[in-house]
Amino acid sequence: MLAPEMTPCYTPSMITRDRYAPSPTGLQHIGGVRTALFNYLFAKASGGTFILRLEDTDRSRFDTAYVQNLYNTFAWLGLHWDEGPDIGGPYAPYIQSERLALYQQYALDLIDKDTAYYCFCSPERLETVRSDREAAHSSETGYDRYCRAVKREDAARRAADGEPCVIRLKIPLDHTTRFHDHLLGDIEWQNTDINPDPVLLKSDGFPTYHLANVVDDHLMGITHVLRAQEWLSSTPLHVILYQSFGWNPPTFCHVPMVMGQDGKKLSKRHGATSVDEFRRQGYLPEALINYVALLGASYTEGKDLYTLEELEACFSIEKLNKAPAIFDYKKLEWYNGQYIRMKSDEDLAALALPHAIDAGLFGQNKNNAAPDKTQRRIFTEAIPLIKERVSFLHEIPEKLRYLFAEPSLPQTSEFVPKKMDIAKTIELLELSRELLEPLASLNDADAEVFIKAYAESHSVKLGDLMMPLRVALTGARVSPPLFGTVRILGAQVSLVRVERALAALHAAT
Ligand code: GLU
């Protein structure tokens, strides 16, 4: 039998609705994407609806560029919501700054219910309270509930007269707030530990996060709130708000945070955190989704690779871990390599092309030139040479640069196989001239048979024959496969490079 907190939190007949509710105050980062992904997967797995809601009430940190970044990020990831600001839905608008009148109405509703009150304290008074407490070394923090004592009729009149005011929630004194978290179990919070009487509606008519979040979750019919554990401390306050309105709270599920290897909250210090950075670094969306979906969750033992469709089918809250998830950049890199290898040559070439253009791979005279037809063909043909050898898209252009421009020749010693000298190396390279025509037209298997026989008939070791040729063609001892290289360069260009290397070796003797 499952432990009580592990019983499934929805029944098949229940219509689930969940949401990703970001505040557009920064670039979309890996933690946010994970929250969105879990909500998306939960909705898909339970046949429910996934909603995007923009919580843009913090106007001082709001920027439309962050909203654009949000849309771009999720379009790139291929994650789509069923209702949201861009596509609408039955509970529109899905942008909180377009719902101000609603929050004002609900804040007044709480005043009527006597579970909230007007507060007329000036910022100066609040500052005095704070500094007096500090001077007295008082342990009390937060608002001193001064206006809670103002008579309701007086407060209503002063507010109606236009006196600047906010609306605060009456946190019930001497009570405990209890709620059930689907992942963490039963949670109990002393009300005295909740920030005394938090502001719900600010003097400019904007709601605070708490009011807008609870009102919207209720009005939008949200059945499940899956969010990061950093919001856990807000939940008792939200539960009190639900109780104050007389509403049923949704099912809460606070997902453990994403940490760096050092156990501290994942941040820029650890590496890339925004999806934009990962994207620029040549990560594929499939790799990010697969890795992030497994960050703090266990699905099938021993299985690492999941398509989004597979995740949609197998996700459940029961599979989430309670312990914080550790972000492992190396593991993500492994995933990326896997997904790179799964791509067709054409698709991978198309994905790597912008990186190649950026890297100036095709620029004869100008950088950032687009490839001409031949270059484009060569680029695709060359993909199999490096597919198994890269973890990132941006590594591809550097590995293939020698195909598009003559590589600079290394020191002559680089051409010389072990236990040989330059004179012998020149002989080997001269021998390889004859290899080029046949190699350019043979497939790998036939090329191997051919070159082995050729080496044997000339009584040289295969490795010794290949080494100077490789350096002559690619400029390095370690390079993509030789046979493929000759095929792509062609016999003629290969010969030019061999002659160039021979000239350099002769000059060194
Ligand atoms: N606007 C909050 C955020 O930025 C939403 C938290 C929640 O999901 O309730 O993450």
Ligand 1: which atom is nearest the Cα of residue 19?
8
- Is the beta carbon of 62 within 6 A of some atom in ligand 1? no
Contact 453, 385 (CB under 8 A): no
CB atoms within 10 A of CB 309: 9
Query: Token digits for 29?
Result: 């980062």
Q: In which residue ranges of the chain is pLDDT below 70? A: 1-13, 364-367
| Whether the Cβ atoms of residue 439 and residue 451 lie closer than 8 Å to each other | yes
**Which residues, other chains included, contact 465 with Cβ-Cβ below 8 Å and sequence gap of 6+?**
428, 431, 432, 435, 451, 454, 455, 458
* Catalytic residue check, 452: no
Q: Ligand 1 centre from 230 Cα, in Å?
A: 9
User: Which residues fall within 8 angstroms of residue 119, CB to CB, at 6 or more apart?
Assistant: 143, 146, 147, 165, 166, 167, 168, 197, 199
Please work out whether the CB of residue 296 comes within 6 Å of at least one atom of ligand 1: no
For the CA atoms of 469, 474, 477, 480, the dihedral, rounded to the nearest 10 degrees, stands at -110
**Residue 268 is encoded by which pair of tokens?**
């820029």
- In the chain, what are the domains? 99-255 (3.40.50.620), 343-403 (1.10.8), 412-508 (1.10.10.350)
Give pLDDT, residue 3. 41
Atom of ligand 1 nearest to the CA of 25: 4
- Rg of the chain taking only CA atoms, in angstroms: 32
The residue whose C-alpha atom lies closest to atom 6 belonging to ligand 1 is 21
Determine the residue type at 393: L
Cβ–Cβ under 8 Å, residues 69 and 28: yes
Q: Which two tokens stand for residue 188?
A: 């109990």
Instruction: Please report where in the chains the tokens 């001193």 appear, as a residue.
Output: 144
Ligand 1 pocket test, candidate residues 17, 18, 20, 23, most atoms within 8 A of CB: 23
Reported pTM: 0.89
The residue whose C-alpha atom lies closest to atom 3 belonging to ligand 1 is: 22
Count Cβ atoms below 10 Å from residue 351 Cβ, excluding itself: 15
- Compute the distance between CA of residue 331 and CA of residue 306 in angstroms, rounded to an integer: 14
pLDDT at residue 12, rounded to an integer: 60
What single-letter DSSP state applies at residue 300?
Answer: S
Is the CB–ligand 1 distance for residue 227 below 6 Å? yes
pLDDT at 31: 94
Please give the pLDDT value at position 13. Answer: 64
The CB of 217 under 6 Å from ligand 1? The reply is no
Determine whether 320 is exposed, middle or buried from the number of CB atoms within 10 Å of its CB (0-12, 13-18, 19+).
buried
**pLDDT at position 300, please?**
83
Contact by Cβ (8 Å): 160, 188: no
- Per-residue pLDDT of 454-479, as tens digits, reads 999 999 999 999 999 999 999 999 99
pLDDT of residue 348: 97
